[in-house]
Chain A
Amino acid sequence: MNIRIIPKLDIKNHNLVKGINLEGLRVLGNPRQFAEKYYNEGADELIYHDVVASLYQRNNLSSLIKNTSENIFLPMLVGGGIRNTDQVETILNSGADRIFLNTAALDNPPIIDNIVKKYGSSTLVISLEVVKSNEKYICRKDFGREETNKELIDWAKEVELRGAGEIIVTSIDSDGTGLGFDLNIAEKLSNNIKIPFVINGGISSIKQIDQLLNVSNPSGIAIGSAFHYGNIDRDFVKQNSLDGNIEFLNKKQKYRNFGKLKIQAIKKHLNKKFKSN
């Protein structure tokens, strides 16, 4: 099985945004344009994450997903603020293939069973957003804003038991840094759960991917900053009146840590590494 390379697009009010440690979200442009670039570059899947939805308890992505489906023929995993099966239905009907939950599952774990029963395990992904605190990994909700008392592995096992098909785990400490994913998290998940998991946060080089694969066997690798900063549309500000933090775009800054990692280069490297079936 090939390891999926998955661009992760965080969305706030119709803009593509990216932060560091899930904070300080910068507007980077029109998500639709980024998605199209990633499709043409050979992405295996796309993630759309409405990052403010959880706070407002609604998911705003339907029109974006519909619009994307028109000429981007890739599996789409969508989440952020999903709280009930009606919302799941709306998102799946818009062209998404799978949905992910974080806050709603932590608040009300039986929602996992309900969604699995209605749509099957393969439709449901649970997102674990964790911070390291006193040598433990603790799950957070509301896009990293709120602590919970759930420890990573305990919760991952419960989620597995309730029938989730896959996990996506975000290391909040690694997110947006480009310094690599927290290998402890990957190793712990590999050793403790049987369902596949996608890792998210911090990956910006092929070397880091090799390090990750030395200690774990993720089913996918989600990447944000390392792809996005290579694709910024400098004219976006001129064309659009935007809300949010557009300072970065206005100043025409470059972000030195990012921008050189390409999907094709990763896939070529992985193919060589695994001599895929």
Chain B
Amino acid sequence: MNDVAILNFNMGNLFSIKCALNYVGLKAVVTDDFEVIKNSKSLIIPGVGAFPEAMKRLKEKKLDSAIYDCNEKGKIIVGICLGMQLLFSESNEIKKTKGLNLIEGEVEKFSEKKSSNTKASFNVGWNKIRTKKFKKNSSYVSDLDKKDMYFIHSYYVKPRIQEIKTSTSFFYKKEFISSVKKDHIQGFQFHPEKSGECGIQIYKKLKINLEYKK
């Protein structure tokens, strides 16, 4: 049995996630096969690209039902970047598109601002995550207050229930939610697998949680 199924809908840097999981000692498989996902202990939803295309591909491959199945069974689900956004109710990227609706809320675009001449419409680079205020909602990032993580995105999530926040970050002067946790689901706007040793801590926490669940 695999520890982690990495959902393959041909969007995103799946190989790096697999490497990070292997590095911390988890057995991971990149797959779009319902049976393989059923036989895995947890699920990672990756994603780079546009929301409507991603939802379309999930549905074409019937992977949305695989995700719901994991959710019903209470398996750990981790969404990364677009993979987290897909868990929400809907997004305005390109056109209004319904998401998986496992977390109530919307996905919105950073507004373009003219700060120091820079077109501030997407965020590429390292930003600190602030987790201190959200310690109550114990998550994989709880111990990583003020650590730098690698972000690459132009949309951010706006959950309806604020209590699911586990960290916030700043893009120029705009504070946005950089990670969330709802029951057995955790989402990260940044890429833990590209965020050095601090990012690897997150996969280590996943491993501990999987062992605890046994």
Contacts and interface: CB of A to CB of B under 8 A. Distances in A.
A123 interface: yes
A86 to B, nearest CB: 14
Given A74-B194, A75-B194, A194-B119, A4 B125 contact: yes
Interface of A: 1-2, 4, 39, 42, 44, 66, 69-71, 73-75, 92-98, 119-123, 165-166, 190-191, 194-196, 217, 219-220, 276-277
Given A69-B16, A73-B196, A166-B124, A2 B148 contact: yes
A194 B118 contact: yes
Interface in B1-49: 13-16, 19-20, 22-23, 48-49
Interface of B: 13-16, 19-20, 22-23, 48-50, 116-119, 122-128, 148, 150, 152-154, 170-172, 191, 193-197, 199-200
Nearest to A166: B124
B15 A95 contact: yes
A195 B117 CA distance: 9
A121 B50 CA distance: 11
Nearest to A277: B170
A94 B116 CA distance: 35
B23 A71 contact: yes
A277 B129 CA distance: 10
A113 to B, nearest CB: 15
A73 B125 contact: no
Contact of A165 (B15, B124, B128, B197): B124
B196 A69 contact: no
B200 A73 contact: yes
Nearest to A217: B116
Contact of B128 (A119, A194, A277): A277
B118 A44 contact: no
Contact of B127 (A1, A39, A42, A120): A1
A70 B117 contact: no
Given A120-B48, A190-B117, A217-B117, A75 B19 contact: no
Given A69-B16, A73-B19, 19 more contacts: A1-B127, A1-B171, A1-B172, A2-B126, A4-B125, A70-B19, A70-B22, A70-B23, A73-B194, A73-B197, A93-B15, A96-B13, A97-B13, A97-B16, A97-B194, A122-B153, A190-B117, A194-B117, A196-B119
A31 B193 CA distance: 21
Given A73-B193, A195-B119, A97 B152 contact: yes
| Overall SS of chain B's interface | mixed
Contacts of A191: 117
Given A92-B13, A194-B117, A71 B19 contact: yes
Contact of A122 (B23, B124, B148, B172): B124
Nearest to A220: B125
Nearest to B175: A277
21 contacts: A1-B171, A44-B126, A73-B19, A73-B23, A73-B194, A92-B13, A93-B14, A95-B13, A95-B15, A95-B16, A97-B13, A97-B194, A119-B48, A122-B152, A123-B48, A165-B122, A166-B124, A191-B117, A196-B119, A276-B128, A277-B127
A70 B16 CA distance: 7
Contacts of B23: 70-71, 73
Contact of B15 (A75, A94, A219, A276): A94
Residue picked from A66, A69, A73, A75, most chain B C-beta under 10 Å: A73
The 10 tightest CB contacts between A and B, nearest first, are: A194-B119, A69-B19, A95-B15, A75-B194, A95-B16, A2-B126, A277-B170, A70-B19, A69-B16, A122-B152
Contacts of A121: 122, 154
A71 B18 CA distance: 11
A91 B38 CA distance: 30
Contacts of A94: 15
Contacts of B14: 93
A277 B130 CA distance: 10
A217 B118 contact: yes
A73 B152 contact: no
A113 B12 CA distance: 19
Contacts of B128: 276-277
A219 B124 contact: yes
B118 A196 contact: yes
A42 B123 CA distance: 20
A276 B191 CA distance: 20
B49 A75 contact: no
A1 B125 contact: yes
